[in-house]
Amino acid sequence: MHEKKVMDAGAVKSAIQSLAAEIHAAHGDRPLAFVGIHTRGVPLADRLVRELRYRRDHIEQGTLDISLYRDDLDNLAALPTIEGSDIPFEVEGASILLCDDVLFTGRTIRAAINVLLDYGRPERIELAVLADRGHRELPIAATYAGITVPTRKEDYLRVHFKETDGEDRVIHYQSETS
Amino acid sequence: MTTDVSPYHRKDLLTIGDLDREEILHILDNAKPFKDLFTRSVKKVPTLRGKTVLNLFYEPSTRTRTSFEIAAKRLSADVTNFAVSTSSVVKGESILDTIDTLQAMQVDYIIVRHSVSGVPEYIARHTHASVLNAGDGHHAHPTQALLDAFTFREVYPDMTGKRIVVAGDILHSRVARSVFEIMHLLGVEVATFGPATLVPRTIPSYVRILHSFEEVFEFDPHVLYLLRLQLERQKANFFPSMREYHNRYGVTTERFKTLRERGTWVMHPGPVNRGVELVDDVMTYERTLINHQVENGIATRMAILYHLTPQEPKRLPLPEEIRA
């Protein structure tokens, strides 16, 4: 497989800053809850919150584990470990920003929406991702996307965050062209 | 880097002895997020949607069966109770024939309780479904032990070097056997106390045998685990009378005072015989964990159901003439 660096630490940083600016432009100071999807949505939510902390009040933050809501448990070679969800705010009536590293088929986001709806009825749910790599299998779109990476379906796009992987970067593993 | 997947591929849970320390801790860690679900407005998750869980109880049990039923339903599984007293077992059907029948019904998880040790293991060998031992004879009750360990760990996150006394009728208790095993594996010092006639010689060597309540207080357990005196099994005169049992081996008002002063936690698998294992006051004591055990039982059993993986069911081969 061919390895291509799509973003380095600097690019990741500026992408997150522009995501934060976009979110701020859309929401101003209205209450917003940042919810990171385990594993790499959590550091993304953290960083967005850090960017926006001094520009707005009313920041709520939570984490979401979707492993109990996956639609492919039967097909997995091994069960996902459960991290647990931590939603320390009232979901009923809240504006929620889901955060994840990569948007691909949309199935993770489908599951995340289902989890949130089991906590209550939010007023709205939006989605922020660092990278959108296409190939949706469900009618789901990112409200805010850091970058769009054209990929083939069998490729891998891996986001590395300092918190989870020691370093910020995005790598595109391209399958050999036949 | 966090690990994303569980390294375990276990079909059945038959005894604690099948698990090692790491796997036990893995299950206990997973039980926590399940317990967190209980505070949500929707307590259910879709994890086992479309799966069928069958309660196969050859012995009466309301608590354990209900606990499993709620656990399975909160995972969105369909639950069926196979009531043995009204079934063909009464008509003389063998266990194996019953299993073949259930196999044909494509059941995914079978929860078994039987008065004979080893029956769940026998069933497990003959079905693709995951088998969970909900108590067999005097042998094992692994899900009870796991929920007890979970409860212990909520109070003492580091269990190493803590002390537990399991008191009462050890001889007839599958709970005692499984609790000994799990506590020992998790580094807890284990002692036991009960009428000499009810403490079998086959007890594991790591269990210290205490002979009086004075020795119990000397051992100074963090948790006193009282077993239910199984009244239905006491026909052989193991001890003179209930009153005698209470006075010598039960938590009397006076002993309760000492326990309270020391802040000893009390556990009991239920149902409780008030006035036999313990006096009424213990039930309202702020360090009695009995109701926590019940609540944790559901979370732990959800984690166990999640942990097990049934085998791919085999389709029944059709007879030749139909196939053609």
Q: Say how far residue B320 (Cα) sits from the centre of its chain.
A: 46
Q: How many CB atoms lie within 10 A of CB A60?
A: 19
Task: Tally DSSP H helices, then E strands, for chain A.
Answer: 4, 8
Which among A78, A79, A85 has the least Cβ separation from residue B33? A85
With residue B257 as reference, give the H or E element that holds it: helix B253-262
Residue that is written with structure tokens 């990112």 in the block? A142
Strands B163-167, B189-193: parallel, antiparallel or unpaired by DSSP?
parallel
Rounded to 10 deg, the angle between the B142-155 and B21-36 helix axes is 70
| Rounded-to-integer distance, Cα A115 and Cα A118, Å | 5
Residues of A in contact with B47 (CB under 8 A): 68-69, 73
Of the listed ranges A87-101, A130-144, B165-179, B307-321, the one predicted with least confidence: B307-321
Cis peptide, bond prior to residue B221, ω within 30 of zero: no
Contact between chains at A81 and B5 (C-beta distance less than 8 A):
yes
Minimal-distance CA residue of chain A relative to B47: A68
- Name the pTM for this structure: 0.87
Which among A81, A114, A117 has the least Cβ separation from residue B3? A81
Mean pLDDT of B235-239: 74
Predicted complex: ipTM over 0.85: no
Can you give B81-125 as a three-state secondary structure string? Answer: EEEHHHCCCCCCCCHHHHHHHHHHCCCCEEEEEECCCCHHHHHHH
Q: Which of B183, B181, B204 is nearest to B267 (CA)?
A: B183
Looking at chain B from residue 263 to 322, which residues have their Cβ under 8 Å from any Cβ of chain A? 306-307, 309
The tokens describing B20, both together, are: 């090692």
Task: Tell which of B8, B10, B28, B36 to mutate to test the A interface (max A CBs under 10 Å).
Answer: B36
Q: What is the DSSP letter of B239?
A: S
| Rounded-to-integer distance, Cα B65 and Cα B106, Å | 20
Q: What per-residue confidence (pLDDT) applies to B92?
A: 67
Contact between chains at A39 and B32 (C-beta distance less than 8 A):
no
Contact between chains at A79 and B40 (C-beta distance less than 8 A):
no
Answer for the pair B207, B191: CB distance below 8 angstroms, yes or no: yes
Minimal-distance CA residue of chain B relative to A85: B33
Residues of B in contact with A82 (CB under 8 A): 29-30, 33-34, 306
pLDDT over threshold 70, residue B248: yes
The DSSP result for B202-265, as a single string, is: TS-TTSEEE-SHHHHHHH--SEEEEPP--GGG-TT-SSS-HHHHHHHHSB-HHHHHHHHHHT-E
The tokens describing B141, both together, are: 């009750």
Which among B1, B8, B33 has the least Cβ separation from residue A82? B33
Mean pLDDT of B200-229: 95
Of the listed ranges A34-43, B19-28, B36-45, the one predicted with least confidence: B36-45
**Residue B47 contacts A where some CB pair is shorter than 8 Å:** yes
B1 SS3 class: coil
The tokens describing B168, both together, are: 């009462």
Contact between chains at B306 and A79 (C-beta distance less than 8 A):
yes
Q: Which of A125, A136, A159, A163 is nearest to A15 (CA)?
A: A159
Can you name the residues that pair with B265 across neighbouring β-strands? B223
Q: Which of B112, B135, B139, B148 is nearest to B300 (CA)?
A: B148
> How do the pLDDT tens digits run along chain A, 178 residues long?
899 999 999 999 999 999 999 999 999 889 999 999 999 999 999 999 999 988 877 889 999 999 999 888 777 777 777 888 999 999 999 999 999 999 999 999 999 999 999 999 999 999 999 999 999 999 999 999 999 999 999 999 999 999 999 999 999 999 876 5
Please enumerate in sequence order all residues whose Cβ is within 8 A of that of B101, keeping only pairs 6 or more positions apart, or say none.
none
The tokens describing B166, both together, are: 């399991």
Please enumerate in sequence order all residues whose Cβ is within 8 A of that of B106, keeping only pairs 6 or more positions apart, or say none.
B52, B313
Contact between chains at B2 and A164 (C-beta distance less than 8 A):
yes
Answer for the pair B165, B224: CB distance below 8 angstroms, yes or no: yes
| Rounded-to-integer distance, Cα A128 and Cα A88, Å | 20
Q: What percent of chain B has pLDDT over 70?
A: 91
B57 SS3 class: strand
**Residue B4 contacts A where some CB pair is shorter than 8 Å:** yes
- B226 burial class (0-12, 13-18, 19+ CB within 10 angstroms)? buried
Contact between chains at B309 and A83 (C-beta distance less than 8 A):
no
Alpha-carbon distance B41 to nearest alpha carbon in chain A (angstroms):
5
Q: How confident is the model at residue B1 (pLDDT cuts 50, 70, 90)?
A: very low
**Residue B76 contacts A where some CB pair is shorter than 8 Å:** no
- B252 burial class (0-12, 13-18, 19+ CB within 10 angstroms)? middle
